[in-house]
Amino acid sequence: MSVIVAPSILAADYLHLADQIKLVEDAGAKYLHIDIMDGVFVPSISYGSGWVKQIKDSPSKLTLDVHLMVEHPEKIIPEFIDAGADIIGVHVESTPHIHRALQMIKKAGIHPEVVLNPGTPIYAIEPVLSMVDQVLVMTVNPGFGGQKFLPETVSKISYLNSYKKEHGLNFDIEIDGGVNDKTIINAYKSGANVAVAGSYVYDKVDPAAKVKRLLEVTDFGQN
């Protein structure tokens, strides 16, 4: 079984977004990663819930994996629920009310995800691991595409994989940042089963081939 590939449209060609989405979907991607950035929690600003709604209303059947890189995400979670997000990820660092934010998502029937920055220890999210369907381990510092994978984050993946087995939990482990056909291998072996890839996939050469490559190099059983 291969990794679930989640191409990030942050690196896509916005003028041809429908075509860019179809390319990766036809190549075997299952998720589409949508980064929402407010210019406060991270330096960059991206797009809003209108993009999510338009993609949801498009012919694409990809799971919409919405990553909120914003301060006080509980203020905007409802609009992304209404827009059609399938997964909503919230940074533990972005709100003092992480439990409430995840409850809002779960109550709406959307898959809740907690997100962890590279410099944040695992224990910060342990109190909410029983209520999430996915944990996103940031493998770069959030806010910009094209960064290099931080190898020290792999130990977090291993710990989370052991923790969920020990406690009988069933969340997916997603990685985001610097993912390519080399860095994905150790992360996948350590327990990550969902991989966000932006610059590597949408490099203006052959996005479909890049998705197929990530599936190919992870086509083996996990430890």
Active site residues: 35, 176
| CA separation for the pair 194, 213 (Å, rounded) | 15
What are the phi and psi torsion angles at 36 (to 5°)?
-105, 115
Question: Facing residues of 3 across strands?
Answer: none
Could you give the CA distance from residue 219 to residue 214 in angstroms, rounded to a whole number? Answer: 9
> Which residues, in sequence order, are CB contacts of 39 under 8 Å at separation 6+?
45
Place of tokens 């979907």: 25
To the nearest 10 degrees (0 to 180), the angle between helices 207-217 and 183-190 is 40
What's the one-letter identity of residue 215? L
90: nearest Cα among 107, 109, 65, 108: 65
Residues in the chain: 223
* Helix spans in the chain (H): 17-27, 49-56, 77-83, 98-107, 154-166, 183-190, 207-217
